[in-house]
Amino acid sequence: MSRGLRMIPIVLLLWLVFGLAWKLIRPADPAIPSQLVEREVPDFALQAAATGALGLRSTDLAGGKPKLLNIFASWCVPCTAEAPVLGELRRRGVTIDAIAVRDTPDALGVFLARNGNPYERIGADPRSEAQIALGSSGVPETFVIDGKGIIRRQYIGALNPSNIPGVLRELEQAR
């Protein structure tokens, strides 16, 4: 066996060790991205989640205009923290639809009265079925959806103020 051949195991080992070390050092990220990014929104038709709100159908998301779809719940603490960011986006002319997961109209009414209501439509998803169909694994999550109902981007966790320019740019590109 030539020397070059005999060096192969060492090279492979170095590769393996560096790969594993990289994985060990990197903080674990438990977020699982949706497989539906760059695909069409799955079919759903949700009742209105709060008194006076509009229900949400998947066809509403393919109305020709890019939108945000926010997955949230009144019982979710990060969603409260996220509310001002959504309010700011609304002020800048962004249309935001929402799915309220495992919520009640009363609790949701209190949440919207306290934190403001940036939403055009709020669909109720009492058994997380639409949420799971979207490939969302928690609340809050936000999807950027283009005018044809194709998911362009998924934000896992609460949006924060530094996300605003990026979200606006993505909505612009989705036009």
Partner 1 sequence: MIAEAGLAALWLAAGLAAYQLLLMVLTLRHEIDAGRTMRAVAVAQGALALIAFWALLLAFALSDMSVKLVFENSNSAKPFIYKVAGTWGNHEGSMLMWVTILAVAGAFVALFSRRTGERTLVAALGSQSVLALGFYAFLLIASNPFARLSPAPPDGLGLNPLLQDPGLAFHPPTLYLGYVGLSVAFSLAVGALLTDEVDSRLARAMRPWVLAAWVLLTLGITAGSYWAYYDLGWGGYWFWDPVENASLMPWLAATALLHSLNVLAARGALKAWTMMLVVIAFSMSMVGTFLVRSGILTSVHAFAIDPERGTFLLALLAIYVGAAFTLFAVRGASLKEGSPFELVSRETGLVINNLLLSVILGIVFLGTLYPLFVEALSGEKLSVGASYFNAVAGPLALLLAVLVGIGPLLSWRQERRPIWGRLKLPALLAASALAMTIILAPDIHILPRLGFTVAAFLATASILPLVGRNPLRIPLATWGMVVAHFGIAVALAGMAANAAFTVERLAIAKPGDILGVGPWLVQLEGVTPAAGKNFTALEAELKATRGEAAITLNPQTHYYSDPPTETNESAIRTFWNGQLYTVLGRADSSGGWQLRLWWKPFVTLIWGGGALIAIGGALALAGRTFRRRRRSERDWRERYR
Give residues in contact with partner 1 (CB under 8 A). 1, 3, 6-7, 9-10, 13-14, 16-17, 19-25, 32-33
Strand 141-145 and strand 151-156: the pairing is antiparallel
As measured in angstroms, the least distance from the Cβ of 171 to partner 1 is: 23
- Which of 174, 128, 172 is closest to 148 using CA atoms? 174
23 versus 175: smaller Cβ distance to partner 1: 23
What are the residues whose beta carbons fall under 8 Å from the beta carbon of 66, sequence distance 6 or more?
95, 144, 145, 146, 147, 152, 171, 174, 175
As measured in angstroms, the least distance from the Cβ of 156 to partner 1 is: 12
23 versus 91: smaller Cβ distance to partner 1: 23
Q: Give CA–CA dist 162/171, Å, rounded.
A: 16
37 versus 168: smaller Cβ distance to partner 1: 37
As measured in angstroms, the least distance from the Cβ of 125 to partner 1 is: 20
25 versus 172: smaller Cβ distance to partner 1: 25
HSE-up (13 A, CA, CB side) for residue 58: 13
As measured in angstroms, the least distance from the Cβ of 105 to partner 1 is: 22
